[in-house]
C-alpha cells in the first residue's frame, strides 16, 4: 500500500468512525518526526526524530522545521517554558553517560541557547526560570524506589507523591501544578501533588498531555500481535473527573501516537511513517 492510499484509508476511516475528531490533515514535511509538543502559544511544536534523536522546532505558520540539537536521546522529556518563548531539553556531553546529561534552554524569539544548572530528571515538569510561584515545583522518578517524587526548587523541600505500592513512570504534572498523572504498569492514575491522596485509576494506555483546563488527558494505546512489534495504535481521551475513556481514532493503516493539544487542536505522529497529523477535537 503506497503512502497516498494509506492516507486516504486513514481519512475515510476517521470520517466513518470518529465523531470526536475532524478537520484532520497531514503536515507535509520531509523526514521522520515523532513526539510533537505544542507550545503554550500554539505557534510552535517541538519534535524529535527516530529513536528520540535530535530536537526540532516546527513553526506552524509556514510548516518550517529547524534542527536545534542532533544529540541522541535529546528528544525525550523536553518541555516548554510557560511563557512560550523558550523550551528546555537535555543533551549528553561527548564522552559522558546519559545520566550526566545537561539541561539546555533555547529561546525561540532570539535563537539563543543557555545551559541551566538543574537536573535533567526534572524534565518535562520544569517550565519556568521565574521564582516566586508554584512553577518551581517539579516532579521526577526516584530510581531507587520507582516512586514519583516532588521538589520545590526554591526551598529544596521534597516529598513522595505516589505512596501506593507500584513501579511508577512517565509522570505528567498538570498545568495548575496541583495534580500528577502517573503510569503504573499499563494503567494511568491521578494523584494530588501533595502526596496525600490515593491514586485514582482513570484508564489504560500512555497519557502524553493535559488539556489546558486540566479536565482531561490525551494519549494513546498501542497493540502488538507478536508481543514485540507495534501493529496498531489509537488515540484516547481520559476524563480526569469521571474516569471515562473515549476512543477518538480508529484506523489500521496509521499508528497514531504521542498526541499533544492546544485549545481544540491536536497534533500527533504516525509511528509507522513518521508523518505528523493535525485535527480538531470535539469533546462536547
6-10, 35-39, 62-66: least confident range = 6-10
Angstrom distance (rounded) from CA 190 to CA 171: 10
Residue 250 has what pLDDT? 85
Three-class SS of residue 16?
Answer: helix
Burial 134-149 (b: 16+ CB within 10 A, else e): ebbbbbbbeeeeebbb
Angstrom distance (rounded) from CA 204 to CA 26: 27
Three-class SS of residue 151?
Answer: strand
Predicted confidence band of residue 12 (pLDDT cuts 50, 70, 90): very low
CA within 13 Å, CB half, 86: 19
Three-class SS of residue 212?
Answer: coil
Whole-structure pTM value = 0.90
Angstrom distance (rounded) from CA 131 to CA 154: 7
Q: Does 61 sit behind a cis peptide bond, omega within 30 degrees of 0 on the bond before it?
A: no
Q: Does domain 31-127 have CATH number 2.120.10.30?
A: yes
Angle at 238 between CA 210 and CA 81, to 5 degrees: 5
Three-class SS of residue 21?
Answer: strand
Angstrom distance (rounded) from CA 177 to CA 10: 36
Angstrom distance (rounded) from CA 234 to CA 255: 7
Question: Residues 210-235: pLDDT tens digits?
Answer: 999 999 999 999 887 777 777 789 99
Q: For residues 183 and 161, is the Cβ–Cβ distance under 8 A? A: no
Residue 133 has what pLDDT? 67
Angstrom distance (rounded) from CA 171 to CA 137: 13
Which of 50, 117, 89, 173 lies closest to 182, judged by CA? 173
Is a pLDDT exceeding 70 seen at residue 89?
A: yes
Three-class SS of residue 189?
Answer: strand
Is a pLDDT exceeding 70 seen at residue 23?
A: yes
Predicted confidence band of residue 165 (pLDDT cuts 50, 70, 90): very high
Q: What percent of the chain has pLDDT above 70?
A: 91
**Region of residue 110 (phi > 0: left; psi between -120 and 50: alpha; otherwise: beta):** alpha
Residue 134 has what pLDDT? 67
Task: Enumerate long-range contacts of 153-157, CB under 8 Å, 24 or more apart.
Answer: 153/118, 153/122
The neighbouring-strand residues paired with 86 are: 107
Is a pLDDT exceeding 70 seen at residue 182?
A: yes
Angstrom distance (rounded) from CA 95 to CA 189: 38
2-6, 219-223, 258-262, 264-268: least confident range = 2-6
Question: Residues 120-147: pLDDT tens digits?
Answer: 999 999 998 877 666 799 999 999 999 9
Predicted confidence band of residue 22 (pLDDT cuts 50, 70, 90): confident
Three-class SS of residue 68?
Answer: strand
Is a pLDDT exceeding 90 seen at residue 283?
A: no
> Could you state, in order of their start, the residue ranges of all structural domains in the chain?
31-127
Predicted confidence band of residue 13 (pLDDT cuts 50, 70, 90): very low
Amino acid at each position: 500500500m503506497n503512502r497516498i492510499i494509506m492516507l486516504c484509508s486513514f481519512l475515510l476511516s476517521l470520517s466513518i468512525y470518529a465523531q470526536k475528531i475532524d478537520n484532520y490533515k497531514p503536515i507535509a514535511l520531509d523526514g521522520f518526526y515523532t513526539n510533537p509538543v505544542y507550545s503554550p502559544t500554539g505557534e510552535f511544536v517541538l519534535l524529535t526524530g527516530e529513536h528520540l534523536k535530535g530536537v526540532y522546532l516546527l513553526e506552524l505558520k509556514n510548516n518550517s522545521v529547524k534542527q536545534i540539537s542532533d544529540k541522541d536521546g535529546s528528544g525525550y522529556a523536553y518541555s516548554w517554558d510557560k511563557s512560550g518563548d523558550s523550551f528546555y531539553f537535555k543533551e549528553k556531553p561527548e564522552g559522558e553517560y546519559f545520566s550526566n546529561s545537561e539541561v539546555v534552554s533555547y529561546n525561540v524569539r532570539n535563537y539563543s541557547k543557555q545551559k541551566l544548572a538543574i537536573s535533567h530528571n526534572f524534565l518535562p515538569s520544569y517550565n519556568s526560570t521565574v521564582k516566586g510561584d508554584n512553577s518551581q515545583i517539579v516532579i521526577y522518578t526516584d530510581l531507587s524506589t520507582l516512586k514519583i517524587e516532588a521538589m520545590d526548587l526554591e526551598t529544596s523541600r521534597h516529598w513522595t507523591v505516589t505512596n501506593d505500592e507500584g513501579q511508577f513512570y512517565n509522570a505528567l504534572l498538570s498545568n495548575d501544578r496541583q495534580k500528577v498523572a502517573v503510569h503504573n504498569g499499563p494503567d494511568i492514575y491521578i494523584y494530588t501533588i501533595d502526596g496525600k491522596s490515593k491514586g485514582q485509576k482513570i484508564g489504560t494506555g500512555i497519557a502524553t498531555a493535559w488539556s489546558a483546563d486540566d479536565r482531561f488527558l490525551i494519549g494513546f494505546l498501542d497493540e502488538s500481535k507478536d508481543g514485540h512489534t507495534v501493529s496498531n495504535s489509537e488515540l484516547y481521551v481520559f476524563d480526569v473527573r469521571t474516569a471515562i475513556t473515549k476512543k477518538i481514532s480508529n484506523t489500521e493503516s496509521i499508528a497514531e501516537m504521542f498526541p499533544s493539544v492546544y485549545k481544540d487542536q491536536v497534533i500527533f505522529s504516525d509511528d509507522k511513517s513518521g508523518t505528523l497529523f493535525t485535527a480538531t477535537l470535539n469533546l462536547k
